[in-house]
Structure 1
């Protein structure tokens, strides 16, 4: 399954139809989504019953986990396995929240089938702002509050009439808990990054407006479900444990929050222990904890995205490159020495001709796309070695 190509939702449906017992219950699903980071807004792994052809980027992991969580939530709440029914229900759910409106142009480009439109809609949930060009090449963030969508969907399936109000309440409560958790600790640089990421992920509520009256305690005592309370506790644990320590003030806060959420001390300690183990295992893979400068992060993001595009179109690229001996010769030469200005101009012109023949590479023809050509040229010999065997020099 390739979540960056059209038709991936139907492919998921083909895979999941035989895996309806992949999770025993919503509680089991929640635990798995904590283990792979999705509950925490950290997109690391997917369910092991899904086969993928290539290594996945963060946004692709997020897409698959969002759809997986939505499908099994629908299954547990309704008992219905039919995938078409699920797709129509999810599409109606997001429409009720006025999320990801499908334009007339998008209908022409992606087809009028609900699954095709849902692919566009899920895409709109994954990324935080920015245009298609900046998103495609790493200059964006991945939504860190996606699990809220699952909790709202659970509510929608049981109470479809007040979906937006509940969505706003969940986001508002989540952010208030995170801010309250931060106030219990000394501010750290990565705390600020986490807050910026969560703020950018808000969809349904504007924190600058006074959406809800009443105190913080009154807010927590609203009629939240068990799993909504579990999520609040886990987000608080994520916030206070980010600096890998827990002082007296933080301990008092998290125990107090647990009491307000009607959780036992054992449940609170278990939640703290879980996030501790999660960080010890995955800290190097959590992007907002990365201290690399923005320029390096941007370059690495672009490199990963360009690599993905090359891999996704490797067969087509091999065919197109094989028909241009001069281009292959120049690209091969570029692996061992710098090209002169005239040669670089030839490579750029001929690559643009190649891009014209492969629709998914048309983004390189957008304004600014030429900036990415050096990355593309650097990666082609490594990802398509068969076309460069004659002159390729391996690194020692």
Structure 2
């Protein structure tokens, strides 16, 4: 089977995954036939390459979002919305943009590079869940969904998506269901690391020791690490400056992470911890690289799932939910609870929900 065509564990359909000019495209080929999928994949890749060569930015959700938002600056006879209605929709759209950025950040993906088809039913469900986490009322969420519905109808009318996922969600109701998290084993993480080249062989273990997102950890520099003169837990910190939300945070490294750093050879040419010899100096496409390695080593999960493993294990060993939330960089402690408490016993939840000092 071509490397660009695969079947996710939660779907019978074949999917396309391809990177063109640094942007990853991942979408359903809407067929269970291998032969049809391969043909569709070749045609779609050719189409995407043509768009990239022409510098076209359509089919991106960000492009559709911007076009619809700007159209609300002026009265349009097609919809006939008043100035107050258009202003209210723009307010909701700003909140939609911020929240979707958080949704995609949690997936270790960039909303500005997402195709319109990637805003699916799962994305809408996560949007609603995060608005609830932020304390928004049902009435406010419904107002946001009204604007969201018009936005996705606009994108559907452009021919970029086949179905409006907001309408799908409204038929389903406010019930949210999170997919099961597939937690990689320690053995699988080590096997994945052995497949990686250069100092990337340490990268999966480092994610397991820190719970960091792939992108933010791939861009850390030695200058961001303080206290290695006394490499003992409690004395070494790491400042994360390239988080997708732009919020700089500093964490105290556990001994497991410190021991990994002690094994990494420093480069005279690059300031990055996980460096390479490209003009960027770091592994810009770490997620894509490890996706390929994961198929070869039968990893059975996403590289990003190592982050979930870290959070669940820390909660199980007695860290408070407040500490885990701050450490891994969730925007809300309720998001941490929603993702991980379903994997804890009642006793573990009581400990995690203590006053915030447990494990500190």
Under a length normalisation based on structure 1, what TM-score does the superposition of the two structures give? 0.27
Under a length normalisation based on structure 2, what TM-score does the superposition of the two structures give? 0.29
Return the structure number with greater helix share.
1
- Structure label with greater radius of gyration: 1
Return the structure number with greater strand share.
2
